[in-house]
Each structure stands twice: as C-alpha cells, then as structure tokens.
C-alpha cells in the first residue's frame, strides 16, 4: 500500500541520483583525462579502451570474446562487424541487449581496438578489477565506471544529443538503426573532433600512448 501511494503521488521524484543535474568543469575533465592517458602497459590499454569506447564492463568482456566477421555487406550473424575509417577510428557493431541495457555499436580508435582484441586474455576478474584498483591508486575520486561517464561527457561536446545517446545505448532502436545506416561518417568525424579537443590524434595513437 505504501509503495502504491509513493508511486501515485510521485513522492520519490528527485530522491535519487539518477535525476540530478551535474556540472563538469572543462579543466577538471581535462586533468582527469590526462592522468588516464598517461597509464601504460596492458592496464593502460584496458583503461583507454574503456574510456574511448564508453562500453559498460560486461560489454567490454562481450566484445573481447566475440570473433570478427569479415562480411560487411549487411551480414546479420552474431559476430562483431567492424568498419575501419580513414580518420583512424573503427565502428564496431555489437548489438547486445540485456534487459533495459542496450549496446548497439561503438566508435573506437582502430589501433586501440586491435590491441585490445590481441590481449592474451580478458575478463572482469582479474583484468577490470585490477584496472579499477590501479585507477584508484592514481586518484581516489576515479573508478572504472567513471570512464563511461567521461566518454559521454566528451561526446556531448561535438555530437548531437541523439548521437551521444545512441553510442551510450540510451536511444530507441529505430534511432540507432537510422544512425547506423546513414550517419556513421558524420558520427565518426564528430568523435574525432571531440577527442582532439583533449590532444588525442588517433592516426598517431599507439598501444601505450
């Protein structure tokens, strides 16, 4: 009965962090990103892939475990389909849905994606947990989940709201299909422009840059 009353009169509105507004200072974000860019080794690679892809932790594991399909003529198999762009990025079609969480596709630096797929192994434990712990040693405020938030924040600098939401898996399927069919080049260029504001050059990016 109490639960019904709360729902009917919206008594819980505004009592969760989900609906709150946040202000992120550009200098704050730039300093945190610089700290993450300086991380080296396989942990640095995992951190950078999480940051540049914006994928959730389980989506990263799913992407690593899935093999690649070379058929780019509209194939609908369950493998990953990757479009490499001349601007140094790759568009990875993932299409993995779990309940209300969706992952349509992501855009990542081609060199980082290939290096990530070449890792001898990758799983939540120990790899993501180790990366999370390492991040905390550098800055107690940051954690692995922060990478996804930072990615969305960076994307919103140059992308339209729908574009950023498609990458984050927050858009409707019909919107995702539209951008996947007609707007990939535009999104890829906006992605490059967004990261260039923080000194990232994807064409010269290496495994440990």
How many residues make up the chain in this entry?
209
Sketch the domain layout of the chain as residue ranges.
25-196
Whether residue 18 has pLDDT greater than 60? no
What does the pLDDT read at residue 111? 95
Taking residues 18-43, report their average pLDDT.
83
CA atoms within 13 A on the CB side of 18: 3
Contact 69, 93 (CB under 8 A): no
CB 192 within 8 A of CB 87: yes
pLDDT of residue 12: 45
The two three-digit tokens of residue 121, written as one number: 């192994």
What burial class does residue 38 get, using C-beta atoms within 10 Å of its C-beta: 0-12 exposed, 13-18 middle, 19+ buried? Answer: exposed
Say which residues have a Cβ less than 8 Å from residue 31's Cβ, sequence separation at least 6: none
Among the residue ranges 17-31, 38-52, 73-87, the one predicted with the least confidence is: 17-31
Beta-bridged to residue 83, according to DSSP, are 91
The alpha carbon dihedral of 72, 167, 196, 134 has a sign of: negative
| pLDDT band with cut points at 50, 70 and 90 for residue 183 | confident
Confidence label for 136 from pLDDT (cuts 50, 70 and 90): very high
pLDDT exceeds 80 at position 172: no
| C-alpha neighbours within 13 Å on the C-beta side of residue 73 | 1
For residues 71 and 100, what is the distance between their CA atoms, to the nearest angstrom? 29
Say which range, 140-149, 186-195, 199-208, has the weakest mean pLDDT.
199-208
pLDDT classification of 171: cutoffs 50, 70, 90:
confident
- Rounded distance between C-alpha atoms, residue 123 and residue 101, angstroms: 20
Q: What confidence category does residue 208 fall into, taking pLDDT thresholds of 50, 70 and 90?
A: very low
For 103-135, the pLDDT digits (tens) are 999 999 999 999 999 999 999 999 999 999 999
Give the pLDDT of residue 11: 47
- How far is it, in rounded angstroms, from Cα 50 to Cα 145? 9
* 194-206: average pLDDT: 86
């Amino acid at each position: 009965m109490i639960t019904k009353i709360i729902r009917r009169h919206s008594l819980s509105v505004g009592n969760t962090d989900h609906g709150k507004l946040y202000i992120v200072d550009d200098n704050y974000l730039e300093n945190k990103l610089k700290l993450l860019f300086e991380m080296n080794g396989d942990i640095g690679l995992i951190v950078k892939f999480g940051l540049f892809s914006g994928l959730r932790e389980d989506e990263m594991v799913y992407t690593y475990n899935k093999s690649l399909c070379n058929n780019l003529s509209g194939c609908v198999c369950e493998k990953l389909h990757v479009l490499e762009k001349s601007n140094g990025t790759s568009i990875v079609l993932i299409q993995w849905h779990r309940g209300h969480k969706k992952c349509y596709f992501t855009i990542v630096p081609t060199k980082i994606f290939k290096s990530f797929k070449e890792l001898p192994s990758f799983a939540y434990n120990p790899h993501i947990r180790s990366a999370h712990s390492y991040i905390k040693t550098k800055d107690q405020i940051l954690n692995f989940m922060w990478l996804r938030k930072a990615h969305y924040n960076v994307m919103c600098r140059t992308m339209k709201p729908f574009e950023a939401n498609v990458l984050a898996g927050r858009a409707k399927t019909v919107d995702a299909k539209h951008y996947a069919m007609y707007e990939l080049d535009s999104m890829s260029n906006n992605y490059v422009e967004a990261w260039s504001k923080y000194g990232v050059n994807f064409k010269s990016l290496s495994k440990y840059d």
